[in-house]
């Protein structure tokens, strides 16, 4: 199936129709809209921050799919995993026979870029121009222009969604252990977390409140979110900033103990099945984790102090340096301006097209 896929045009058309329908309705859910815009902000000018357009879908052909598949089938980058009873299957022999038939041309970094749209790395400090003609205003990347501001995505509705984000180091960073433990206290521990207690339980401002960390081999990100009534969005956001900042110097022994216990107890659930164990092994290798990482993980977590959790929070989660996206009515701008400058866009506006006063206009 990988080496000689049929890729029938009629089946492709069905898939394309489904993709086009998804694009047409992608702004209906405020939470999904907020997540998409947050990606566009954090990764502006890169493939990861690019929202698929109808023209992209319509341009897909079986020939394009086949060419792309051949570029990706590289034996040197392949991880083949199996679980279960493999007795008598001669699995290694069979896999090696298949792999020797894979195309031999490596995928270069240049090939891997979305060069058709001229997208460059968002951190390169260059002006990015797309085929559609929009560009980053001034010399700073779009994402840097929005750091410390509020991006308000206009969607008239009774409910608003708030998302705050910041960059984190790669998963192999020594700070990862403290970041994960601190996140349980902040917003990853459900009703045990500060965001839920402060915003939802004690004040009833939000339907939900949370935070999480995502890590991969090249870097990571921190995200905090809440869903609230639109007229309470400014209060919710202000309290989120305050709660995030509370981690900078206020981690109690009880919070630390609860977070450690929860994280260590959850380790067993990562290996519920052979498939889970294989997945974790490959993931650790892809992320460049050191040998013995899993064996040493409990000790690293147990050794953490409250001061270490506060230190990484101060390093990576300063509210003034975070990105903020709110999906809600444009009329929220006036109250939100009391917290920080606000930029209003429509759901399908591109981040690169934003013009900010005093930033190269």
| CATH number (domain holding residue 323) | 3.30.830.10
Say whether both 162 and 34 belong to one domain.
Answer: no
Of 74, 89, 124, the residue at which a domain comes to its end is 124
Q: Do 109 and 176 belong to one domain?
A: no
**Within 13 Å and on the Cβ side, how many CA atoms surround 261?**
7
Q: Would you state the pLDDT for residue 105?
A: 53
Residue 330 CB-density burial (10 A; 0-12 exposed, 13-18 middle, 19+ buried):
middle
Determine contact, residues 181/226, Cβ cutoff 8 Å.
no
Distance (Å) of CA 104 to CA 7, 73, 111, 329 = 22, 8, 15, 53
Residues 70 and 169 in one domain: no
Which of 124, 142, 164 terminates a domain? The answer is: 124
**Exposure pattern of 272-308 as b/e (b: 16+ CB <10 Å)?**
eeeeeeeebeeebeebebeeebeeebeeebeebebeb
- In the listed set 89, 124, 159, which residue is the last one of a domain according to the structure? 124
Assigned domain for 307 exists:
yes
Do the domain assignments include residue 20? Answer: yes
Note whether 209 and 300 are same-domain residues: yes
202 with 285, same domain: the answer is yes
- Tell me if 360 is assigned to some domain: no
How many domains does the chain divide into? 2
250 in the same domain as 118: no
Burial letters for 92-120: b for 16+ Cβ neighbours within 10 Å, e otherwise?
Answer: eeeeeeeeeebeeeebeeeeeeeeebebb
Question: Does 332 share its domain with 271?
Answer: yes
- Cα distance between residue 294 and residue 274, in whole Å: 16
Structural domain containing residue 207: 150-340
Instruction: Locate 121 and state its tokens.
Output: 């790395």
Q: Is residue 357 part of a domain?
A: no
Vertex 169 angle, CA 167 and 170, to 5°: 125
Instruction: Encode the chain (361 residues) as per-residue pLDDT tens digits.
Output: 888 889 999 999 999 999 999 999 999 999 999 999 999 999 988 888 999 999 999 999 999 999 988 888 887 778 888 888 889 999 989 988 888 888 765 545 444 444 333 323 333 333 333 332 223 333 347 788 899 999 999 999 999 999 999 999 999 999 999 999 999 999 999 888 999 999 999 999 999 999 999 999 999 999 999 999 999 999 999 999 999 999 999 899 999 999 999 999 998 888 888 888 889 889 999 999 998 899 999 999 999 999 999 999 999 999 999 999 999 999 999 999 999 999 999 999 998 888 775 443 3
Cβ of 331: how many Cβ atoms within 10 Å?
13
Residue identified by tokens 């929202």 is 51
The verdict on 160 and 108 lying in the same domain is: no
Query: Are 212 and 326 in a shared domain?
Result: yes
Taken in order 63, 68, 72, 74, the sign of the CA dihedral is: positive
pLDDT score of 176: 97
In a domain, 348, yes or no: no
| Per-residue DSSP letter, 63 | H
Q: Has residue 196 been placed in a domain?
A: yes
Same domain, 115 and 188: no
Let me know if residue 222 belongs to a domain: yes
Distance from chain centroid for Cα 218: 12
């Amino acid at each position: 199936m990988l080496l000689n896929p049929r890729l029938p045009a009629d089946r492709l058309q069905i898939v394309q129709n489904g993709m086009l329908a998804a694009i047409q309705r992608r702004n209906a859910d405020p939470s999904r809209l907020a997540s998409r815009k947050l990606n566009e902000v954090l990764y502006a000018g890169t493939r990861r921050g690019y929202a698929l357009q109808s023209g992209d879908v319509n341009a897909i052909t079986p020939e394009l799919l086949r060419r792309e598949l051949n570029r990706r089938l590289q034996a040197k980058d392949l991880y083949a995993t199996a679980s279960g009873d493999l007795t008598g299957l001669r699995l290694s022999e069979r896999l090696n026979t298949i792999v020797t038939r894979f195309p031999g041309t490596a995928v270069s970094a240049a090939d891997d870029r979305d060069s058709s749209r001229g997208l460059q790395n968002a951190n390169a400090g260059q002006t990015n121009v797309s085929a559609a003609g929009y560009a980053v205003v001034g010399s700073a990347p779009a994402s840097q222009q929005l750091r410390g501001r509020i991006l308000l995505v206009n969607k008239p509705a009774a409910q608003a969604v708030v998302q705050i984000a910041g960059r984190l180091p790669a998963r192999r960073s020594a700070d990862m252990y403290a970041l994960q433990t601190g996140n349980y206290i902040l917003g990853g521990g459900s009703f045990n977390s500060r965001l839920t207690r402060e915003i939802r339980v004690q004040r009833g401002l939000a339907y939900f409140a949370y935070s999480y960390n995502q890590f991969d081999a090249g870097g990571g990100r921190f995200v905090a979110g809440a869903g609230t009534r639109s007229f309470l969005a400014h209060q919710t956001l202000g309290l989120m900033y305050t709660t995030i900042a509370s981690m900078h110097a206020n981690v109690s022994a009880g919070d630390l103990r609860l977070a450690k216990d929860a994280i260590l107890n959850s380790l067993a659930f990562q290996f519920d099945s052979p498939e889970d164990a294989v997945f974790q092994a490959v993931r650790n290798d892809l992320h460049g984790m050191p040998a013995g990482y899993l064996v040493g993980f409990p000790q690293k977590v147990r050794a953490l102090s409250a001061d270490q959790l506060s230190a990484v929070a101060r390093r990576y989660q300063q509210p003034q340096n975070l990105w903020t996206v709110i999906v809600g009515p444009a009329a929220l701008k006036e109250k939100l301006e009391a917290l920080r400058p606000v930029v209003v866009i429509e759901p399908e506006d591109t981040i690169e097209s934003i013009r900010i006063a005093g930033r190269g206009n």
